[in-house]
């Protein structure tokens, strides 16, 4: 079964746009869990323009499902993750100014840094995942870095899905097969939605988890959060 982890960054974006505590990010995390999500994802950035560092430490004790913290492992982020002790940390190479994640790691060029970072988190008992483009070589070096999983960056798949889903998914099949061969767990995320999720889940081998935020919150504006989460679970065959 592929787990659904709901990224609640956009709920925090809405809260921060007005000030105060509406919508309530902590309540949203609990509600997503209650509505069936098997994980909660947050991606705190240094400027705290959506999820704040204080949100991260407040969410951990109030949920019982898996907690995934993703971000660029700068010292401040590493300290936060070690304090919060989530189920999983996902290492993402996003610049501070990035609107959203837009590339996976060059795991070959950054091998030494990623090895050290993975070791730090694994010694703390935190499952580590490295965000990569769908390139078998990047998966190979991620495995050498010592991670437990890789997360495939699915923006290209989502962009090209409408013009030819078989061609769009081909690189992901190669990368996923390499991950399976190397004994890595496999996650995926970025621009997965109700149009393209079912095919991706049914076609890519070894998929453990998908992390979806923007599309879920957009759909929830029309469908409501509970109905939306249930719709995404249905696309995953649940």
pLDDT at 103 (0 to 100): 82
Low-confidence ranges of the chain (pLDDT < 50): none
Active-site annotation holder among 43, 66, 151, 178: 43
pLDDT at 219 (0 to 100): 98
Taking the C-alpha atoms of residue 199 and residue 162, their distance in angstroms, rounded to an integer, is 12
Mark whether 226 is an active-site residue.
no
Active-site annotation holder among 66, 178, 190, 209: 190
pLDDT at 101 (0 to 100): 60
Mark whether 70 is an active-site residue.
yes
Structure tokens at 87: 């189920």
pLDDT at 94 (0 to 100): 80
Dump pLDDT digits (tens) for 184-221: 999 999 999 999 999 999 999 999 999 999 999 999 99
- Whole-model pTM: value is 0.95
Structural domain count, the chain: 1
Active-site annotation holder among 70, 151, 178, 235: 70
Mark whether 43 is an active-site residue.
yes
The SS3 assignment for 20 reads coil
The SS3 assignment for 236 reads coil
Percent of the chain with pLDDT over 90: 94
Phi, psi angle pair for 195, to nearest 5°? -80, -40
Q: Which helix (H) or strand (E) holds 4?
A: strand 3-7
Structure tokens at 122: 């694994």
CATH number at residue 37: 3.20.20.70
Query: Exposure string (b/e) for 99-130, b if CB count within 10 Å is 16 or more?
Result: eebeebbbbeebbeebbebbebbeeeebbbbb
8-state DSSP, 44:
-
Q: By the 8 A CB rule, do 33 and 64 touch? A: yes
pLDDT at 82 (0 to 100): 98
Dump pLDDT digits (tens) for 76-97: 999 999 999 999 999 999 866 5
Q: Domain of residue 124: give its range.
A: 3-235
* Contacts within 8 Å (CB) and 24+ apart, 69-78: 69/41, 69/42, 69/43, 69/44, 70/41, 70/42, 70/43, 70/131, 70/211, 71/43, 71/44, 71/45, 72/96, 73/117, 74/46, 76/46, 77/44, 77/46, 78/117, 78/120, 78/121
């Amino acid at each position: 079964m592929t787990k659904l982890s709901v990224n609640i960054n956009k709920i925090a974006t809405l809260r921060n746009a007005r000030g105060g505590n509406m919508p309530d990010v902590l309540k949203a995390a609990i509600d997503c869990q209650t509505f069936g999500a098997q994980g909660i994802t947050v991606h705190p950035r240094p400027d705290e323009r959506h999820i704040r560092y204080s949100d991260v430490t407040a969410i951990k004790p109030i949920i019982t499902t898996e907690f995934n913290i993703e971000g660029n492992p700068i010292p401040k982020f590493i300290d936060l993750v070690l304090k919060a002790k989530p189920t999983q940390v996902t290492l993402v190479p996003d610049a501070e100014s990035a609107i959203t994640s837009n590339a996976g790691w060059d795991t070959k060029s950054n091998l030494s840094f990623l090895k050290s970072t993975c070791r730090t988190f694994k010694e703390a008992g935190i499952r580590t995942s490295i965000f990569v483009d769908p390139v078998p070589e990047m998966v190979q070096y991620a495995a050498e870095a010592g991670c437990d999983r890789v997360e495939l960056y699915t923006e290209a798949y989502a962009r090209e899905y409408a013009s030819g889903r078989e061609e769009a998914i081909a690189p992901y099949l190669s990368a996923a097969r390499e991950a399976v061969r190397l004994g890595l767990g496999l996650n995926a995320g970025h621009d997965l939605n109700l149009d393209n999720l079912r095919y991706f889940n049914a076609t890519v081998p070894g998929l453990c988890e998908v992390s979806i935020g923007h599309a879920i919150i957009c759909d929830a504006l029309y469908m409501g959060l509970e109905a939306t989460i249930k719709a995404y679970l249905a696309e995953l065959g649940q």
